[in-house]
Amino acid sequence: MRVLIVGGTGVFGARLAELLVRDGHDLTLAARNFRRAQRLASKLGCAALRLDRQGDLTGIAGFDVVVDAAGPFSTEGKDPYRLARAALKAGQHYLDLSDNAAFCAGIRSLDAEARAAGRAAISGLSTVPALSSAAVRALSAGARPEVIESAILPGNRSPRGLAVMRSILMQAGRPMRVWRGGAWETVSGWSQPKSYDLPQGLQRQAWQIEVPDQRLFPDHFGADSVAFRAGLELAVMRYGLAAFAYLRRLVPVPINGFVLGIFKLGADLLAPFGSGRGGMSVMVITNGERRFWRMLAEGGDGPYVPASAIRALLRRGEFPVGAQPALEVISLAEAEGAMGDLSVTTEVVSEPVQAIFPRVLGASFDDLPEVVRATHQTSDLSRWQGQASVRRGRSLWSRFLGWVFGFPAQAAHIDVEVVKTVSGDSEHWQRRFGGRLFHSVLTRTPAGMTERFGPFTFLLGLRVSEGALHFPVRSARLGPLPLPRWLLPVSIAREHERDGGFCFDVKLLTPLTGDLLVHYQGQLAPA
């Protein structure tokens, strides 16, 4: 095919050009710096063209496919899709490597023009969302993925383009929306670090950042939660960026040429350190399994991976007519085939997923009513809401303990919301009674289930009896210090079914005196 790569001398454009030359395409590199384009074109054995994507675009005529690898991809400006429109008007397919969420989603605005021209306009033919969505579909195997979590983890010696650096810095410390538990939440860019495994025992840390996946996957796959993180190999760079993100939460530091230059200088000084090994992890939870697709790129081949999606599509030679984000435009098999001549290793791993309550209760968990079991089968985050009544003890002792643990005030009828968030072998329960919040963390341990309120940790004697789940307290400690039995509260708490709904009834009595501490009861349903 006759292919024009706009931005063909950039970090990813140059590598895409090399791959397409290997495949025998009739290639032309376009760039604002014509001499630079000529040098690379001479090395690759292809043609060069002087072109500014913001200037005169008549030079794009005569090609089958126009690829935008220049960026930065942003919805700012009067017409961010100027190059795409010009390509469609010239009767050409338009493809790009955008990882900007708004730009990638907004390509659908060109659908009528693309269909009228009988051509494709596809945005995001890069690691995300093209490769990530292909991996999600392959891992899901036709089922609905309940949870999707992806991460890109480059090696430190991979080259860094200014457009990518600017994109990350612009997001650092700024609010971004993530889909968790069937609702949108707001988090800060470059926050909430997490470690990921890669092939050959490699492990890397990554931080939350926005890509098209968070915006597009909830509707496309029907997932309950979608997360994406990106990493930097060197700890000094990861935590330095985290400190900068924290600063930007307090002060709106602009990302201008001066700030970008400082970060570029730091990255260049640290470039000799670390390695040329990087990778990607995609995970889905479905049908009681956690399934991973993991990829490791070595020998400096990591920057070729974003180009593999376009390479795979051009190898197929067929394009879906219309304008769309690159969601499942290629299959995982096609993507892996396009990386076949790279130093890339992939693996698929699966493991069973079971929530902490059925693991502690064992076979007796199945004796509970379905509505009770459902509240204890959270795979990532779940939300529950309903009505409750609260009764509080009146003695000074009970009032003091109620204040220590943050229990809600007395109320005859009050709205209640419970949010359960899974983290390893623990669940964080956030309970909201009206405007009052109180928290606890339940953890599966070898001794059984514990529940921690601040410095106090209680060992629960979970048991199923007469179709209800009971939560008696067996022992407690303050920090690492065990509490004597005479200092234990009495817990008369159970969860049960009534008229097909989930009900809770929690009554706590004070230690020493046996006075009422708190008694709250009510019903919950999925939010």
- Write the pLDDT tens digit of every residue in 494-522: 999 999 999 999 999 999 999 999 999 99
- Here the tokens at position 412 are 């005859």
In sequence order, which residues have a C-beta less than 8 Å from that of residue 520 and are 6 or more positions away?
388, 389, 390, 391, 407, 408, 433, 504, 506
Q: Please state, in angstroms and rounded to a whole number, the distance separating the CA atoms of residues 393 and 516.
A: 5
Taking 90 as the threshold, does the pLDDT of residue 53 lie above it? no
Taking 80 as the threshold, does the pLDDT of residue 71 lie above it? no
Task: Find the farthest-apart pair of alpha carbons in the chain and give their distance in angstroms, rounded.
Answer: 89
Taking 70 as the threshold, does the pLDDT of residue 60 lie above it? yes
Q: Taken in order 265, 270, 276, 282, is the CA torsion positive or negative? A: negative
How confident is the prediction for the chain on average, in pLDDT?
95
Check if 132-300+348-352 and 356-526 are the same fold.
no
Q: What is the pLDDT of residue 398?
A: 96
Q: What is the rounded average pLDDT of the residues 401-424?
A: 94
Taking 90 as the threshold, does the pLDDT of residue 313 lie above it? yes
Q: What is the pLDDT of residue 353?
A: 93
CATH level 3 topology of 356-526: Lipocalin (2.40.128)
Q: Given pLDDT bands bounded at 50, 70 and 90, which one contains residue 83? A: very high
In the chain, where are the structural domains located? 132-300+348-352, 356-526
Residues paired with residue 344 on neighbouring β-strands, in sequence order: 297
Q: What is the rounded average pLDDT of the residues 43-70?
A: 94
Q: What is the pLDDT of residue 140?
A: 98
Taking 80 as the threshold, does the pLDDT of residue 74 lie above it? no
Segment holding 143, helix H or strand E: none
Q: Which residue has the tokens 């698929």?
A: 348
Q: What is the pLDDT of residue 54?
A: 85
Angle at 192 (CA atoms; ends 186, 193), nearest 5 degrees: 150
Q: What is the CATH number of domain 132-300+348-352?
A: 3.30.360
Q: What is the rounded average pLDDT of the residues 371-383?
A: 96
Q: Taken in order 378, 381, 387, 388, is the CA torsion positive or negative? A: positive
Taking 70 as the threshold, does the pLDDT of residue 385 lie above it? yes
Contact 6, 14 (CB under 8 A): no
Contact 393, 515 (CB under 8 A): yes
Q: Which residue has the tokens 């920090």?
A: 479
What is the CA 183 to chain-centroid distance, rounded?
A: 14
- Structure confidence by residue, pLDDT tens digits, 270-284: 999 999 999 999 999
In sequence order, which residues have a C-beta less than 8 Å from that of residue 403 and are 6 or more positions away?
none
Neighbouring C-beta atoms of residue 104, cutoff 10 Å = 30
In this prediction the pTM is 0.91
Q: Given pLDDT bands bounded at 50, 70 and 90, which one contains residue 75? A: low
Taking 70 as the threshold, does the pLDDT of residue 443 lie above it? yes
Q: What is the rounded average pLDDT of the residues 321-332?
A: 98
Q: How far is CA 82 from CA 7, 52, 74, 248, 461, in A?
A: 15, 12, 12, 32, 65
Q: Please state, in angstroms and rounded to a whole number, the distance separating the CA atoms of residues 236 and 239.
A: 6
Using DSSP, how many helices (H) and how many strands (E) does the chain show?
Answer: 15, 29
By three-state DSSP, how is residue 355 classified?
coil
- Structure confidence by residue, pLDDT tens digits, 176-221: 999 999 999 999 999 999 999 999 999 999 999 999 999 999 999 9
Segment holding 419, helix H or strand E: strand 411-423
Q: Please state, in angstroms and rounded to a whole number, the distance separating the CA atoms of residues 83 and 357.
A: 54
- Here the tokens at position 410 are 């007395």
- Structure confidence by residue, pLDDT tens digits, 251-273: 999 999 999 999 999 999 999 99
Q: What is the rounded average pLDDT of the residues 12-35?
A: 96
Q: What is the rounded average pLDDT of the residues 8-32?
A: 96
Q: Output DSSP code: residue 307.
A: G
HSE of 261, CA atoms in CB hemisphere, 13 A: 3
Taking 80 as the threshold, does the pLDDT of residue 525 lie above it? yes
In sequence order, which residues have a C-beta less than 8 Å from that of residue 239 and are 6 or more positions away?
none
Contact 48, 29 (CB under 8 A): yes
Q: What is the pLDDT of residue 163?
A: 80
Contact 83, 94 (CB under 8 A): yes
Q: Taken in order 395, 398, 404, 409, is the CA torsion positive or negative? A: negative
Taking 80 as the threshold, does the pLDDT of residue 48 lie above it? yes
Taking 90 as the threshold, does the pLDDT of residue 79 lie above it? no
Taking 80 as the threshold, does the pLDDT of residue 431 lie above it? yes
Taking 70 as the threshold, does the pLDDT of residue 76 lie above it? no
| Percentage with pLDDT > 70 across the chain | 99
- Here the tokens at position 269 are 């000084």
Q: Given pLDDT bands bounded at 50, 70 and 90, which one contains residue 21? A: very high
Q: What is the pLDDT of residue 77?
A: 67
Q: What is the rounded average pLDDT of the residues 284-310?
A: 96
Residues paired with residue 94 on neighbouring β-strands, in sequence order: 66, 121
Contact 143, 265 (CB under 8 A): no
What DSSP assignment string belongs to 180-213?
ETTEEEEEEBSEEEEEEE-GGG-EEEEEE---HH
Taking 80 as the threshold, does the pLDDT of residue 314 lie above it? yes
Q: Please state, in angstroms and rounded to a whole number, the distance separating the CA atoms of residues 136 and 122.
A: 19
